[in-house]
Amino acid sequence: MIRVLIAEDQAMVRGALVALLRLEDDITVVAEVARGDDVLTAALSSGAEVALLDIELPGCDGLAAAVQLRESHPDCRIVILTTFGRAGYLRRAMDSGASGFLLKDAPATELADAIRRVAKGERVVDPELALTALAGGSNPLTPRERQVLAAALDGATVAEVASSLFLSEGTVRNHLSVAIQKLGVRNRVQAARFAQSMGWL
Amino acid sequence: MIRVLIAEDQAMVRGALVALLRLEDDITVVAEVARGDDVLTAALSSGAEVALLDIELPGCDGLAAAVQLRESHPDCRIVILTTFGRAGYLRRAMDSGASGFLLKDAPATELADAIRRVAKGERVVDPELALTALAGGSNPLTPRERQVLAAALDGATVAEVASSLFLSEGTVRNHLSVAIQKLGVRNRVQAARFAQSMGWL
DNA sequence: CCGCGCCCATGACAAATGTCACCGCCAACG
DNA sequence: CGTTGGCGGTGACATTTGTCATGGGCGCGG
């Protein structure tokens, strides 16, 4: 019997996934949580063998939860389940110690299969996604550029970004300009959107 | 036995929802589709009594699918199932002839319940959401302003928006400026994001 | 130690953006 | 019929944004 923890913020989807896994004889759901910062305690108290983590979670990112889990409960295998097949997400998931990476676009039958294989110690990644992750290359942005871009994502002005990061306005403009050129786009909005679509945030 | 059609683009979620509904004795899933433009034919050929429609669908918006379905198959009740509790979505869903409006944030148990009530001819809407929809008021944007804002959403320049809508640049700037003031924000990006978050697109 | 890359900053400049006043056209409505 | 409001347009203006050159400080690897 494989003991599984499910972390997913949308209650309806979470419940549906539980129903899906209940159909399997060799899998039992021992914990469900809605927040990233509940993952650790729930995993410890339930003795989960496999943790199924969404990336977009309130409280704490699924990838961050994976890191915590890996540190204090290294026997628990981790499967990331996410909507977006962003190359950067896959890379970061692997860096976080995940054993599996599944898309919500994948057929429902693959879920139980992936959990079984991960429980046996295998790694499970959509091969096509792995290719695009390799082809896409790695994140060309420096940490500062990421911060500035992330701040610009929701329409903040240069002045706001500057004060929120304790920088000069000119510096912010420089970082933005460099990021725009690296990404080959024409303004900050496109740059921010593109970076996010690649999982570079 | 209530005959249900499910339209949801993410295969994993779709399969999980099917598993969830399979647990109910009086509900049977007679069709599942991934695209909005497959809803109509699938509903007709399967004789579905209730259609469960996601809003974000490839091919054709779930709300548009609802309108088509309403016209050519008026006996089929419609339930909109969506991630976002945007006030504008609810209003448009009701205008599209939907009988129910459910959030993916709602508990999984509510799904079967909502389907049963809708099948009996009742209307099902999250009461809290209905309140915010009323409080939020209706869309203050004119059709043109919506178009311009939508085009600006992905970082297009004024010139690009102008040529794509066959307008003068000055006119586009005017529409943007008016929209920015109506929405009480400070630039086009915030305006576009705010409008989208309200479902005014 | 020296170079390299990242970070921060300045100042200047061109381009894009946001605002304003004012124009006309047209359809809906009292 | 006159008024109102959405739509399209012009021109001007201040502000913001994107680009460039340049320079200093810091940490890391050869």
Q: Collect all residues with Cβ–Cβ distance below 8 Å to A121 and sequence separation of at least 6.
A: A77, A99
* pLDDT one digit per residue (tens) for chain A, 201 residues: 999 999 999 999 999 999 999 999 999 999 999 999 999 999 999 999 999 999 999 999 899 999 999 988 999 999 999 998 888 888 888 888 999 999 999 999 999 999 999 999 999 998 888 887 776 667 888 888 999 999 888 889 999 999 999 999 989 999 999 999 989 999 999 999 999 999 887
Residue A164 (CA) to nucleotide D15 (C1'), in angstroms, measures: 21
Distance of alpha carbon A71 from alpha carbon B127, whole angstroms: 43
Name the residue among A29, A63, A66, A34 with its Cα closest to residue A46: A29
Residue B24 (CA) to nucleotide D6 (C1'), in angstroms, measures: 52
Residue of B nearest to A154 (CA): B190
pLDDT given for residue B30 in this prediction:
97
Check: CB of residue A176 under 8 Å from CB of residue A149.
Answer: yes
Residue of B nearest to A108 (CA): B12
Residue A88, phi then psi, degrees to nearest 5? -65, -35
- Mind listing the pLDDT tens digit for each residue in B100-132? 999 999 999 999 999 999 999 999 998 888 887
Distance of alpha carbon A103 from alpha carbon A21, whole angstroms: 16
- Mind listing the pLDDT tens digit for each residue in A145-168? 999 999 888 889 999 999 999 999
Its pTM stands at 0.88
For residue A176, give the nucleotide whose C1' atom is nearest its CA: D18
Residue of B nearest to A81 (CA): B12
CA distances from A76 to A49, A51, A119, A128, B38 (A): 5, 7, 9, 26, 41
A 135-194 residues inside an 8 A Cβ radius of B: 154-155, 157, 185-190, 193
Q: Out of A11, A103, A104, whose CB is closest to B108?
A: A11
- Mind listing the pLDDT tens digit for each residue in B143-156? 888 999 998 888 89
B146 touches strand D (CB under 7 A): no
For residue B172, give the nucleotide whose C1' atom is nearest its CA: D8
Whether residue B136 is predicted with pLDDT greater than 70 in this model: the reply is: no
Which residue bears the tokens 């490839």?
B58
Q: Out of A23, A110, A190, whose CB is closest to B155?
A: A190
Q: Is B16 on the interface with A (CB under 8 A)?
A: yes
Which own/partner contact pairs does B17-20 have at CB distance under 8 Å and 24+ positions apart? B17/A12, B17/A16, B17/B52, B17/B111, B18/A108, B19/A16, B19/A19, B19/A20, B19/A22, B19/A23, B19/A108, B20/A15, B20/A16, B20/A19, B20/A20, B20/B108, B20/B111, B20/B112
Instruction: Kindly list the residues from chain A whose CB atom is less than 8 angstroms away from the CB atom of residue B102.
Output: 12
Which residues of the protein have their beta carbon within 7 Å of strand C?
A 142-145, 166-168, 170-171, 173-175, 187; B 157-159, 170, 173-174, 176-177, 180-181, 186-189
What are the structure tokens assigned to A68, written together? 């915590």
- Mind listing the pLDDT tens digit for each residue in A122-151? 999 988 888 877 766 678 888 889 999 998
Residue A182 (CA) to nucleotide D18 (C1'), in angstroms, measures: 14
Q: Out of A17, A20, A187, whose CB is closest to B157?
A: A187
A37: DSSP letter: G
Give the other-Cβ count within 10 Å of A75's Cβ: 7
A 85-114 residues inside an 8 A Cβ radius of B: 102-111
